[in-house]
Amino acid sequence: MSAAGKTMNCEKYKEAITADPSESFENGAEHAALCAACSEFKAEIQALDAMIGRALRIDVPDLELPELSPVDASNGKVVDLPVRARPRVSTPVWLGIAASFALAAIIGLQFTGSDLDADQLLAREVLAHLDHESWALTVTDVAVSPERFSRVVNPVAGTMDRSIGLVSYARTCLINGNSIPHLVIQGKKGPITLLLMPDETVTSAVSLNGDAVNGVILPVGDGSIAIIGDREEELTDLQEQVVNAVKWRI
């Protein structure tokens, strides 16, 4: 890691990018270029920032209060008051109000605006992540290096037997804010995604059905593993192999 990258740890980077999604702070770009987890976190924060920006691009006219009727001072019970300009609520103020509502709506949709249970929410998160990194699903006969595999898997999962298949992709990603190993192996019908999630529990096996994929999230110890392949891919035998191949770090 370069000297610039060493001056910022992951925790400080995540705090900084949350406050400044443009990443204009010092050493931010250098750190993200060297840290896959923070690069993924940056992408999610910038996507959220862009969503809020789109919500705020609305055309709101100035708000004017109605003209008040003149005061009748003929009965001598009132005094003349200085004439005041009608207050106006400018567009920037309304944009601030809109921003608050937009952010509240986004947070509400993510956390409270759904009838889905925890297992279904996790399934939706997994499928969304798969769409986000669709370029990882490449048909190839080139395996990742043992060093990269260990760097991605060992800190989180502990150990995983590579005999399950040719691992062509290995990266540390984020699911629900947790760093997890994202692996791709080569199946019979095409690439198969494995997401090792030691911090995500499911009550039972959860089916995953996308536009062109099928899969399952399996409970494994105190965590879970997602296995997703082509719609025509037979995953039954692979499920047992993957579960037996992974040992969570204690």
Cα–Cα distance for residue pair 67/16, rounded to 1 Å = 47
At 195-224, the pLDDT tens digits run 999 999 999 999 998 878 899 999 998 899
For the chain, the structural domain boundaries read 3-58+91-111, 118-247
118-247 has which fold?
Protein Transport Mog1p; Chain A (3.40.1000)
Q: pTM, whole model, 2 decimals?
A: 0.56
At 42-59, the pLDDT tens digits run 887 887 777 666 656 655
- State the pLDDT confidence band at 18, using cuts at 50, 70 and 90: confident
At 86-132, the pLDDT tens digits run 545 444 444 455 555 555 555 455 444 445 688 989 999 999 888 88
Note the helical H segments in 9-117.
10-19, 28-34, 36-56, 91-111
At 30-46, the pLDDT tens digits run 888 888 888 888 887 88
Contact yes or no for 67/44 (Cβ under 8 A) = no
Percent of the chain scoring above 90 in pLDDT: 32
